């Protein structure tokens, strides 16, 4: 009974917060692209349908694709109006690139549970337990190696974004901010990571 009341209180507080955010104009937020990705990668094998995500190939081929992406060179072409915004980034080895999966169909944003990487032998889990592009706010992030910066173009290696993906933000990767100790991942994620490392 106590647990139920506590859950009820939390639900009420969340509803109040949602109402408050609506009053202050946060019902929807606008994000404008700062640039676009130029890449040889035109499409990914993971697709969203009405009920789940689907993998167009097996886990082994997905691992091979991941290995190819790790070596892929892409260009982040930044809006010329933001001239100078990349200055200093060349002093870092890696950057976090946040981007929007523009090829994701609208129904892909309504998925709540999916099979990780579309592999039906993995358990059905909440989208937030996965790295799936199909999510309510599909903001994706990749850590990419910085190759060079020339004016408003940043050349990087290992970016998973397909050609034409809108760039939302770029941050320098620093282990002080982004690394974690005693990291634990699920068994199915371990299987995916092992398949990728052995490809």
Give the model's confidence band at 91: pLDDT under 50 very low, under 70 low, under 90 confident, else very high.
very high
| pLDDT the model gives residue 60 | 67
C-alpha distances (whole Å) from 170 to each of 18, 73, 98, 128, 137 are 29, 16, 6, 22, 18
Confidence of residue 194 (pLDDT cuts 50, 70, 90): confident
Q: How confident is the model at residue 42 (pLDDT cuts 50, 70, 90)?
A: confident
Predicted structure pTM score: 0.81
Calculate mean pLDDT across residues 105-111. Answer: 82
Burial of 69 (0-12, 13-18, 19+ CB in 10 A): buried
- 170-194 burial, b for 16+ CB within 10 Å, e for fewer? bbebeeeeeeeeeeeeeebbebbee
pLDDT tens readout for residues 44-66: 766 666 666 666 566 666 667 77
Place of tokens 């990749």: 142
* 157-177 residue pLDDT tens: 999 999 999 999 999 999 888
> What CATH number matches the domain at 30-174+187-198, 3.40.50.300, 2.60.40.10, 2.40.30.70, 3.10.20.310?
2.40.30.70
**Of the ranges 5-14, 30-39, 69-78, 80-89, which one carries the lowest mean pLDDT score?**
5-14
* DSSP code string of 76-126: EEE-GGGTTTTTTGGGSSEEEEEE--TTS-GGGGG--EE-GGG-TTSPPEE
Q: Would you state the pLDDT for residue 131?
A: 86
pLDDT band at 109 (very low <50, low <70, confident <90, very high): confident
* Radius of gyration for the alpha carbons in the chain, expressed in angstroms and rounded: 19
Q: Angle at Cα 177 formed by Cα 174 and Cα 150, nearest 5°?
A: 35
């Amino acid at each position: 009974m106590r647990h139920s009341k506590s859950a009820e209180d939390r639900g009420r507080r969340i509803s109040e917060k949602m109402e408050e955010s609506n009053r202050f104009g946060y019902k929807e937020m606008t994000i404008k692209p700062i640039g676009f990705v130029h890449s040889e990668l035109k499409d990914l094998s993971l697709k969203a349908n009405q009920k789940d995500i689907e993998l167009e190939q097996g886990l082994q081929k997905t691992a091979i694709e991941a290995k190819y992406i790790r070596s892929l060179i892409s260009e982040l072409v930044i809006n010329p109006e933001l001239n100078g915004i990349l200055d200093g980034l060349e002093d870092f080895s890696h950057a976090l690139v946040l981007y929007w999966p523009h090829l994701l169909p609208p129904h892909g944003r309504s998925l709540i549970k999916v099979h990780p990487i579309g592999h039906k032998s993995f358990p059905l889990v909440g989208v937030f337990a996965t790295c799936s592009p199909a999510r309510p706010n599909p903001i994706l992030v990749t850590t990419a190696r910085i190759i060079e910066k020339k004016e408003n173009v940043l050349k990087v290696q290992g970016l998973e974004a397909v050609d034409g993906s809108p760039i939302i933000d770029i941050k320098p990767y620093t282990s002080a901010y982004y690394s974690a100790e005693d990291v634990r991942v699920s068994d199915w994620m371990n299987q995916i990571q092992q398949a990728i490392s052995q490809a």
